[in-house]
Amino acid sequence: MKKIGLLLGLTLLVGCSAPSAQLKLSSDKENNRASSVSKSPTVSIPFKTRAQASQIEKMGADILEVQPGYLVAIVSPKVTRLLKEKGFTTTPVQVGNGQRNVFDKGYHTYASMVEELKSTVAKYPSICQLVDIGDSWEKTRGQADRDIWALKITGPSKGQKPNILFDANHHAREIVTTELAMKLISYLTTGYEKDAQVKNWVDTREIWIIPMNNPDGHIKAEKGLDWRKNTDSALSNDASFPPYGTGVDLNRNYPFHWGESASDNPSDPTFQGPGAFSEPETQAVRELFKQKKFAVSLFLHSYSNLVLYPWGYSADPTKDDARFAAVARKMASYNNYTPMPESQLYVCSGGSDDWAYGEMGAFSMTIEVGGRKDGFDPPYASMDRFWKENLPSFQLLLKIAHDPWKEKI
Ligand SMILES: [Zn+2]
Sheet containing 70-74: order of strands: 62-67, 70-74, 42-46, 91-92
Residue 226 has a pLDDT of 87
Task: Report how far apart, in Å, the C-alpha atoms of 391 and of each of 20, 252, 331, 362, 394 are.
Answer: 34, 27, 10, 20, 5
Q: Mean pLDDT over residues 316-345, rounded? A: 97
Helix H or strand E encompassing 222: helix 215-222
Summary mean pLDDT of the chain: 89
Higher-confidence residue of 192 and 2: namely 192
CA of 171 to the centre of ligand 1 (A): 5
Whether residue 256 has pLDDT greater than 90: yes
What digits encode the pLDDT tens for the residues 218-241? 999 999 888 999 999 999 877 665
In the reported structure, the alpha carbon of residue 175 is separated from the centroid of ligand 1 by a whole-number distance in angstroms of 10
Q: Give the per-residue pLDDT at 101.
A: 73
CA 155 – ligand 1 centroid, Å? 31
CA of 174 to the centre of ligand 1 (A): 6
Sign of CA dihedral 122, 123, 124, 128: negative
Expressed in angstroms and rounded, the spacing between residue 111 Cα and the centre of ligand 1 is: 22
Identify the structural domains of the chain with CATH numbers, from first to last.
1-38 (no CATH), 40-93 (3.30.70.790), 110-399 (3.40.630.10)
Give residue 72 CA to ligand 1 midpoint distance, Å.
14
The reported pLDDT for the residue numbered 345 is 83
- Report strand pairing: 206-210 vs 163-168: parallel
What's the 229 CA to ligand 1 centre distance in angstroms? Answer: 9
CA of 244 to the centre of ligand 1 (A): 15
Query: 228 alpha carbon to ligand 1 midpoint, in Å?
Result: 8
Ranges of beta strands (E only) in 238-334 are 296-302, 306-309
- What's the CA gap between 403 and 63, in Å, rounded? 35
Mean pLDDT of all residues in 206-222: 98
Kindly give the distance from the C-alpha atom of residue 409 to the centroid of ligand 1, in angstroms, as a whole number.
27
Span 281-326, pLDDT tens digits: 999 999 999 999 999 999 999 999 999 999 999 999 999 999 999 9
Provide the phi-psi class of 159: left if phi over 0, else alpha when psi is between -120 and 50, else beta: left
Phi, psi dihedrals of residue 222, rounded to the nearest 5°? -60, -25
Kindly list the protein residues that place their beta carbon closer than 5 angstroms to ligand 1, a single-atom ion.
171, 174, 301
Q: How far is CA 126 from CA 129, 153, 154, 155, 184, in A?
A: 8, 9, 8, 7, 18
Give 150 Cα–ligand 1 centroid separation in angstroms: 19
Give the ipTM. Answer: 0.99
Distance 64 CA to ligand 1 centre (A): 8
